[in-house]
Amino acid sequence: MTEHHPDPMNVTNPEHDEHHIVSPLQYTMVFGTLLVFTGVTVGAAYIDLGLFNPVIALGIACFKACIVILFFMHVKYSSRLVKMTVGAGFFTFLILVTMSLTDYMSRAWGRW
Partner 1 sequence: MDNHTIAHTEEHHVSLPQHRHHFETEEQQREAATFGMWLFLLTEIMFFGGLFMAYLLYRNWYYDAFVAASNTLNIGLGAVNTAVLIGSGFAMALAVWAAEVRKKGLLVIFLIITTLLGTVFLGVKYVEYKEKFELRHVPGANFDISRFVNPPADARDQQHLAPDMAHKTEIYFSLYFAMTGMHALHMIIGIGLLIWLTIRAQRGAFSSGYVAPIENFGLYWHFVDIVWLFLFPLLYLINIHPMH
- Interface residue list for partner 1 (CB under 8 A): 2, 8-10, 13-19, 21-24, 27-28, 30-31, 34-35, 38, 41-42, 45-51, 53-54, 57-58, 60-61, 64-65, 68-69, 71-74, 78-79, 81-82, 85-86, 88-90, 92-93, 96-97, 100-101, 104-105, 110-111
Helices (H), 5-105: 24-46, 52-67, 80-105
Q: Min. distance of Cβ 44 from partner 1 in angstroms?
A: 8
Residue 97 exposure: Cα atoms within 13 Å on the Cβ side = 6
